[in-house]
Structure 1
Amino acid sequence: MQTTGPTFRNAVAADVPALVELVESAYRGDASRAGWTTEADLLDGQRTDADGVREIIDDPRAVLLVAERAGELVACCHVEGRSDHAYFGMFAVRPQLQGGGLGASVLAEAERRAREELGAARMHMTVIRVRAELIAYYERRGYVRTGQLSPFPYGDERFGVPKRQDLAFELLTKSLRLPEGPR
């Protein structure tokens, strides 16, 4: 049985509670263990909050992209135009729907929007460097590890409560330029 693809739209203020719940369900707590993107073994506490989501929605340089199926919010991501690239983050897929191609559809739409609407030639993201399976997922989709690390914000509980002391973010990048066709 094939499911229909998602429809996409920009998040609005009324979506904030559902978006917080979606992101939390994909990354934190026991519910997140139904999917493969859980960070429950790395972090406790929150992944985001209503203020953080609202800040992205209100940012004129950013879009919080929502994916829906049959009117249900099933995935989201943050795409933001920066000086020489687009930034990709807050990527969440309902845990029960992970592994079925929905995430790849959302990522492809984010890349299309970054290229076509923001004029970005590259996409940047940061991933917790110990998340080998997640980094491999992005590498299969053309992202390249840079080796450039940034510290995890220990002590800032807006990003969670670390369960280990070796967390850091690694920058991954991808060219968004389309290959040229035959001439």
Structure 2
Amino acid sequence: MDATATDLVFRDATEADVDTLVALVESAYRGESSRAGWTTEADILQGQRTDPEGVLDIVTSPDGLVITAERDGRLVACCQLEHRGDHAYFGLFAVSPTVQGGGLGRTVLAEAERRARTAWGATEMHMTVITVREDLIAWYERRGYRRTGRMTPFPYGDERFGIPQRDDLRFELLVKPLA
């Protein structure tokens, strides 16, 4: 385990965490604050990444949960897990831009994989990533995820997911065996 894991506290998010989760996700992906880290999408998408209603739906879903990672009582990372039969879906992954690059994301991803395997017996983890995010896809590939070539369109016109700054956005399914 990374040294970063020793000072982390993992717990499941509650409704009381929604506003803090939204702020964390927005800081990691949108606007100038996101440029402090490497996960920014500020050049490809403007507007919001998520909203309180969407995060509340995920937090209260009977088929899923949001894992939070806290350091010194401060939320520094989160991710969504959704139980989908024999596999789990991984999403809403965010690490505070001020602490990116030190292994925290790798630690959170490993915890999510462990939880999906032990709590649900999931044999695979699935996620979707915007295809133009080659650096992010490469990061996942180094952690055992593989590109499937299965694409889904970006929801152009639905500003709940952001305002695209280019017309070639789509998602690719990435998969990792958890056995």
Tell which structure's C-alpha radius of gyration is larger. 1
Partner of 1:84: 86
Q: Note the C-alpha offset of 1:83.
A: 2.3
Q: Any idea what SS the aligned residue of 2:166 has?
A: coil
Identity of aligned residues (%): 66
Deviations 1:1-57 (A, max 9, x none): x65431100001111110000000000001000000000000000000000110011
Q: Any idea what SS the aligned residue of 2:138 has?
A: helix
Amino acid at match of 1:16: V
Partner of 1:120: 122
When the two chains are superposed, the root-mean-square deviation of aligned CA atoms in Å is 0.8
Amino acid at match of 1:110: A
Asked whether the equivalents of residues 5 and 102 of structure 1 are also in contact (C-alpha less than 8 Å), the reply is no
Deviations 1:67-118 (A, max 9, x none): 0001110000000000231000000000010000000000000000000001
Q: Any idea what SS the aligned residue of 1:117 has?
A: helix
Partner of 1:140: 142
Amino acid at match of 1:18: T
The one of 53, 56, 60 equivalent to 1:54 is 56
Amino acid at match of 1:28: R
Tell me, in whole angstroms, the C-alpha distance in 2 between the residues paired with 1:84 and 1:149.
Answer: 21
Partner of 1:21: 23
Tell me, in whole angstroms, the C-alpha distance in 2 between the residues paired with 1:5 and 1:106.
Answer: 12
Unaligned ranges ≥5, structure 1: 178-183
Q: Any idea what SS the aligned residue of 2:120 has?
A: coil
Q: TM (normalized to structure 2)?
A: 0.96
Asked whether the equivalents of residues 85 and 122 of structure 2 are also in contact (C-alpha less than 8 Å), the reply is no
Asked whether the equivalents of residues 86 and 121 of structure 2 are also in contact (C-alpha less than 8 Å), the reply is no
Q: Any idea what SS the aligned residue of 2:57 has?
A: helix
Asked whether the equivalents of residues 22 and 94 of structure 1 are also in contact (C-alpha less than 8 Å), the reply is yes
Unaligned ranges ≥5, structure 2: none
Matched residues, number:
176
